[in-house]
């Protein structure tokens, strides 16, 4: 019996279904070796030799795999085909003490792809392993060396990272752009005409045959002067230009573009998108989902061609090949369905919810990429009025092309039938006030796009990077799901920018990614790359421990500690500001600060229903979620998510609570009392 080892139990189950009893498919459940958790694990004095350990959760897995390997005629490693997958295969070989195991890779989990891989096995690519090893060791050195510096100079529990700190820097810089922004007033002039009862409009764009800049009309006085000059003017069509315009489909998805589209269309985080895509890949529905390539196999192109011509006709077909960016790994494919014939409609019984939505997006994008462009009839009209010129544009869809499969937003503006030299019937000419808008904050999609643009990280790193900087509370999301830096995010970024500019330098981070690529290609060594980085970094770090003063972020308050009656101060911690007693360490009492707008929330003026002595106040979890609890905690652990009100339940005498929709109910889980709308109205 031959043993095939993969990372995921779902992947193992899918492959077993294709191969039958001749093979035994087992899962490693991800990584089986890593650097130790509570120490650096890298000997910087011995050519950066890493110390790998088997985590506790992987010990039983390794023990079981050793037994299976001993009883197998052959061991085949079939982890994913990227650097991380190659690294897992190498760690499996080392942990299981395998001698020259076979290594197979496949871009999709289909019977054909797996059988082809088994017929063309290879060996572990140590260049890819070393590239991944270099990334892991670099990140460990930066994290383990810089984080204690932040603890000493700012606050305990902070962390820095080679890629995450650059991502935070992008968000901080964007926020400072917004803070510095000053809105500029400008005006536009609109003329509204009518023909055959149909209104259409045109906007002022020229004066004395010179183009008027968007911001040229600066105030109402200037706008009124133009309206005055246009009084009694004759509006004549000087020129009509008609042409066909074409809109081409987008290429199939890469990891970053899938994450961006998923965020824009469904509001999914990058982490959620990758979790769903992982399942779709492991179940054999899509090709490998960590890729920056736009390549498509000839088989997939032929499959798409057959589907399009059968379903829509030959005039909807236009085969294309796309060119990816200069750093893309062209051996991979773009993300696509494993079969064009498996339309989302057909898979409705197999997939549901987020999986079906994401599969539908991937399938539509792939099919659309091989379809004809959408064709529009476009009309441009130039209108003269005294020494001014107006312009009006019309557009109507003529042929839907790829839009039949992949809907995209476009506007249609149907102009009436008009002739050159025609005098138009003006119904109104008016001025409109505008103000320039500040730059938009990043959301998940635009931040990933920026990371990719600057070559920060690789497809596999975007999702964990965004998750990490949010989990560490360096950036937060507002109600519009846009990122903004926390106070701690500003502080950590500023101290890194000032004292470790290389770490957060965008060009340096991109250069490091290029060096990792060179290691993967065998043109550089991982030890040299790390040595070149470490020597100046370590020297600078040693100097900064002495020269940088500790940040004082404490703020005095009028609040008195309920435990020892000493004054309390506001301190800044990993999860934001909190109240702390000045009697520390004798008194370790702390309280949450929950702000409503810019002001701290006050006590609800409500005695705790449990202990009858403390007061109920608004609090927040470490992740920032607001709840209500007793201010004597931990002596009293009363806590509820919804806001308590100063009224008891008529049924069980427990306190009543009110949710964000204004609905009032009993706080007791054993009581189902709810106030009716009539009762609530009576109390208003």
Q: Is the CB of residue 107 less than 8 Å from the CB of residue 113?
A: yes
**What SS3 class is residue 40?**
coil
Angle between helices 526-547 and 506-520 (to 10 degrees): 150
Question: Could you give phi then psi for residue 382, rounded to 5 degrees?
Answer: -110, 125
Q: What percent of the chain is modeled with pLDDT above 90?
A: 72
Q: Provide DSSP, 487-545.
A: HHHHHHHHHHHHH-TTTT-HHHHHHHHHHHHHHHTTSS-HHHHHHHHHHHHHHHHHHHH
Q: Are residues 489 and 403 in the same domain?
A: no
Is the predicted pLDDT of residue 658 greater than 50, yes or no?
yes
Q: What number of other Cβ atoms are within 10 A of residue 310's Cβ?
A: 9
Q: What is the pLDDT of residue 372?
A: 97
Q: Is the CB of residue 398 less than 8 Å from the CB of residue 377?
A: yes
Q: What is the DSSP letter of 422?
A: P
Residue 601 lies in a domain: yes
User: In terms of DSSP H, where are the helices of 22-82?
Assistant: 56-71
- Model confidence at 620, pLDDT cuts 50, 70, 90, reads confident
Q: Is the CB of residue 27 less than 8 Å from the CB of residue 47?
A: no
| Mean pLDDT confidence for 44-71 | 94
Strand partners, 49: 43
d(CA 634, CA 622): 16
Q: Are residues 486 and 604 in the same domain?
A: no
Q: Is the CB of residue 285 less than 8 Å from the CB of residue 361?
A: no
Active site positions, annotated:
288
Q: Are residues 237 and 260 in the same domain?
A: no
Q: Are residues 106 and 13 in the same domain?
A: yes
Q: Are residues 423 and 571 in the same domain?
A: no
The structure tokens 């700190």 sit at 165
pLDDT per residue as tens digits for the range 522-577: 998 999 999 999 999 999 999 999 999 999 989 999 999 989 999 999 999 888 88
Mean of pLDDT over the chain = 90
d(CA 663, CA 222): 53
pLDDT per residue as tens digits for the range 103-140: 999 999 999 999 999 999 999 999 999 999 999 999 99
* 432: Cβ contacts below 8 Å, ≥ 6 apart: 187, 188, 189, 190
Q: Are residues 378 and 233 in the same domain?
A: yes
Angstrom CA distances, 68 to 10, 26, 61, 76, 475, stand at 19, 9, 11, 12, 46
Q: What is the pLDDT of residue 623?
A: 61
| Mean pLDDT confidence for 643-653 | 83
Is the predicted pLDDT of residue 229 greater than 70, yes or no?
yes
The domain boundary residue, chosen from 84, 99, 124: 124
Q: What is the CATH number of the domain that holds 48?
A: 3.40.50.140
Is the predicted pLDDT of residue 615 greater than 90, yes or no?
no
The domain boundary residue, chosen from 326, 349, 368: 368
Q: What is the CATH number of the domain that holds 470?
A: 1.10.460.10
pLDDT per residue as tens digits for the range 276-307: 999 999 999 999 999 988 999 999 999 999 99
Angle between helices 462-471 and 444-453 (to 10 degrees): 120
d(CA 100, CA 24): 19
Return the closest-CA partner of residue 573 out of 553, 602, 548, 557: 553
Strand partners, 591: 579
Residue 129 lies in a domain: no
Q: What is the pLDDT of residue 670?
A: 80
- Model confidence at 400, pLDDT cuts 50, 70, 90, reads very high
| Mean pLDDT confidence for 90-96 | 96
pLDDT per residue as tens digits for the range 71-84: 999 999 999 988 99
Return the closest-CA partner of residue 338 out of 18, 661, 618, 597: 18
Residue 330 lies in a domain: yes
Burial code (b: 16+ CB inside 10 Å, e: under 16) for 352-378 equals eebbbbbbbbbbbbbbbbbbbebebbb
Q: What is the pLDDT of residue 256?
A: 94
d(CA 360, CA 458): 25
**What SS3 class is residue 476?**
strand
Q: Are residues 644 and 568 in the same domain?
A: yes
What residues make up the domain containing 568? 555-683
d(CA 253, CA 359): 12
User: What is the number of domains present in the chain?
Assistant: 5
Q: What is the pLDDT of residue 312?
A: 96
| Mean pLDDT confidence for 341-355 | 94
Q: What is the pLDDT of residue 529?
A: 93
| Mean pLDDT confidence for 472-480 | 89
pLDDT per residue as tens digits for the range 595-608: 554 455 555 778 88
Q: Is the CB of residue 103 less than 8 Å from the CB of residue 122?
A: yes
- Model confidence at 649, pLDDT cuts 50, 70, 90, reads confident
Pairing of strands 2-6, 74-77: parallel
Q: Are residues 613 and 577 in the same domain?
A: yes
Q: Are residues 561 and 669 in the same domain?
A: yes
Q: Is the CB of residue 205 less than 8 Å from the CB of residue 353?
A: no
Question: Could you give phi then psi for residue 11, rounded to 5 degrees?
Answer: -60, -40
Q: What is the pLDDT of residue 683?
A: 36
Q: Is the CB of residue 24 less than 8 Å from the CB of residue 1?
A: yes
Q: Are residues 31 and 44 in the same domain?
A: yes
């Amino acid at each position: 019996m031959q043993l095939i080892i993969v990372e995921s139990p779902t992947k193992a189950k899918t492959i077993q279904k294709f191969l039958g009893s001749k093979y035994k498919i087992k899962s490693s459940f991800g990584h089986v070796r890593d650097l130790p958790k509570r120490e650096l694990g890298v000997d910087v004095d011995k050519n950066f030799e890493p110390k790998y350990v088997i985590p506790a959760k992987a010990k039983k897995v390794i023990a079981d795999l050793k037994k299976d390997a001993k009883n197998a005629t052959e061991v085949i490693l079939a982890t994913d085909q990227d650097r991380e997958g190659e690294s897992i295969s190498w760690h499996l070989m080392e942990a299981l003490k395998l001698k020259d195991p076979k290594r197979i890779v496949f871009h999709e989990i289909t019977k054909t792809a797996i059988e082809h891989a088994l017929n063309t096995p290879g060996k572990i690519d140590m260049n890819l392993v070393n590239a991944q090893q270099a990334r892991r060791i670099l990140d460990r050195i930066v994290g383990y060396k810089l984080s204690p510096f932040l603890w000493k100079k700012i606050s305990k529990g902070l962390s820095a990272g080679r890629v995450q700190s650059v991502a935070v820097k992008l968000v901080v810089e964007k926020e400072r752009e917004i803070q510095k922004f000053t809105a500029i007033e400008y005006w536009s002039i609109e003329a509204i005409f009518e023909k055959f009862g149909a209104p259409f409009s045109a906007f002022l764009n020229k004066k004395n045959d010179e183009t008027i800049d968007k911001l040229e009309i600066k105030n109402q006085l200037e706008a009124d002067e133009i309206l005055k000059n246009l009084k009694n003017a004759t509006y004549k069509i000087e020129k009509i230009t008609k042409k066909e315009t074409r809109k081409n489909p987008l290429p199939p998805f890469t990891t970053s573009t899938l994450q961006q589209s998923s965020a824009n269309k469904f509001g999914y985080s990058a982490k959620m998108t990758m979790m769903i895509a992982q399942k779709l890949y492991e179940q054999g529905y899509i090709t490998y989902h960590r890729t920056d390539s736009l390549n498509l196999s000839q088989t997939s192109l032929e499959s798409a061609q057959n589907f399009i011509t059968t379903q829509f006709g030959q005039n909807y077909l236009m085969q294309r090949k796309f060119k990816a960016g200069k750093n893309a790994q062209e051996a991979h494919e773009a993300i696509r369905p494993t079969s064009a014939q498996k339309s989302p409609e057909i898979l409705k019984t197999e997939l549901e919810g987020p999986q079906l939505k994401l599969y539908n997006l991937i399938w539509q994008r792939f099919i659309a990429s091989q379809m004809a462009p959408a064709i529009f009839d476009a009309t441009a009209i130039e209108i003269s009025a005294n020494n001014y010129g107006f312009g009006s544009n019309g557009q109507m869809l003529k042929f839907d092309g790829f839009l039949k499969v992949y809907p995209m937003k476009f506007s249609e503006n149907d102009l009436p039938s008009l002739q050159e030299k025609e005098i138009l019937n003006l119904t109104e000419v008016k001025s409109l006030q505008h103000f320039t808008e500040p730059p938009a904050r990043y959301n998940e999609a635009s931040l990933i796009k920026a990371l990719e643009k600057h070559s920060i990280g690789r497809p596999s790193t975007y999702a964990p990077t965004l998750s990490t900087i949010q989990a560490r509370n360096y950036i937060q999301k507002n109600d519009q799901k846009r990122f903004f830096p926390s106070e701690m995010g500003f502080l950590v970024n500023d101290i890194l920018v000032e004292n470790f500019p290389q770490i957060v330098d965008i060009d340096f981070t991109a250069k490091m990614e290029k060096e990792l690529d060179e290691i993967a290609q065998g043109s550089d060594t991982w030890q040299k790359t790390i040595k070149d980085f470490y020597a100046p970094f370590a020297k600078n770090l040693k100097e900064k421990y002495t020269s940088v003063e500790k940040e004082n972020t404490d703020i005095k308050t009028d609040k008195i500690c309920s435990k020892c009656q000493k004054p309390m101060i506001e301190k800044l911690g990993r999860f934001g500001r909190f109240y702390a007693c000045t009697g520390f360490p004798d008194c370790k009492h702390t309280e949450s600060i929950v702000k409503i707008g810019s002001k701290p929330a006050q006590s609800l003026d409500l005695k705790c229903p449990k202990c009858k002595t403390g007061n109920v106040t608004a609090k927040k979890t470490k992740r920032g979620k607001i709840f209500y609890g007793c201010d004597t905690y931990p002596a009293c652990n009363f806590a509820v998510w919804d806001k308590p009100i100063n009224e008891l339940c008529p049924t069980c005498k427990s306190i009543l609570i009110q949710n964000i929709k204004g609905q009032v109910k009993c706080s007791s889980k054993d009581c189902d009392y709810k106030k009716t709308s009539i009762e609530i109205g009576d109390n208003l």
